[in-house]
Amino acid sequence: MGLLDELKERILIADGAMGTLLYSHGIDRCFEELNLSNPDEIVHIHEAYIAAGADVIQTNTYGANYVKLARYGLEDEVPAINRAAVRLARQAANGRAYVLGTIGGLRTLNKSVVTLEEVKRTFREQLFVLLAEGVDGVLLETYYDLEELETVLAIARKETDLPLIAHVSLHEVGVLQDGTPLADALARLEALGADVVGLNCRLGPYHMLRSLEEVPLPERAFLSAYPNASLPDYRDGRLVYETNAEYFEETAKAFRDQGVRLIGGCCGTTPKHIEAMAKALSDRTPVTEKTVKRRAVSVSVQAERPAPSPLPELARTRRSVIVELDPPKKLGIDKFLAGAKALHDAGIDALTLADNSLATPRISNAAVATIIKERLGIRPLVHITCRDRNLIGLQSHLMGLHTLGITDVLAITGDPSKIGDFPGATSVYDLSSFDLIRLIRQFNEGLSYSGKPLGQKTNFSIGAAFNPNVRHLDKAVERMEKKIQCGAHYFLTQPIYSEEKIVEVYEATKHLDTPIYIGIMPLVSARNADFLHHEVPGITLSDEIRARMAACGDPVQAAKEGIAIAKSLIDAAFDLFNGIYLITPFLRYDMTVELVRYIHEKEAAAKERKVVHG
Binding-site residues for Zn(2+): 201, 266-267
CA distance 558 to 548: 9
- Determine how β-strand 164-168 pairs with β-strand 196-200: parallel
Query: Dmax over Cα atoms in the chain, in whole Å?
Result: 95
Question: Do residues 370 and 404 touch, judged by C-beta distance below 8 A?
Answer: yes
CA distance 459 to 582: 25
Bind-site residues: 201, 266-267
CA nearest neighbour of 459 among 397, 406, 381, 513: 406
Side by side, the strands of the sheet bearing 98-104 are: 12-13, 260-263, 222-226, 196-200, 164-168, 137-143, 98-104, 56-58
For residues 239, 244, 248 and 250, what is the CA-based torsion angle, rounded to 10 degrees? Answer: -140
| Cα→Cα distances 6→3, 10, 284, Å | 5, 6, 11
Question: Do residues 509 and 480 touch, judged by C-beta distance below 8 A?
Answer: yes
| Cα→Cα distances 37→34, 80, 85, 91, 505, Å | 5, 11, 11, 16, 58
CA distance 54 to 59: 13
Q: Angle, nearest 10°, between helix axes 365-376 and 391-403?
A: 10
CA distance 591 to 583: 10
Residue 71: phi, psi to the nearest 5? -65, -25
CA nearest neighbour of 266 among 186, 199, 183: 199
For 23-38, b/e burial (b = at least 16 CB within 10 A) is eeeeeeebbbbbbbee
Residue 8's contacts (CB-CB under 8 Å, 6 or more residues apart) are none
One DSSP character per residue, 460-525 reads -EEEEEE---SS-HHHHHHHHHHHHHHT--EEEEEE---HHHHHHHHHHHTT--S-EEEEE-----
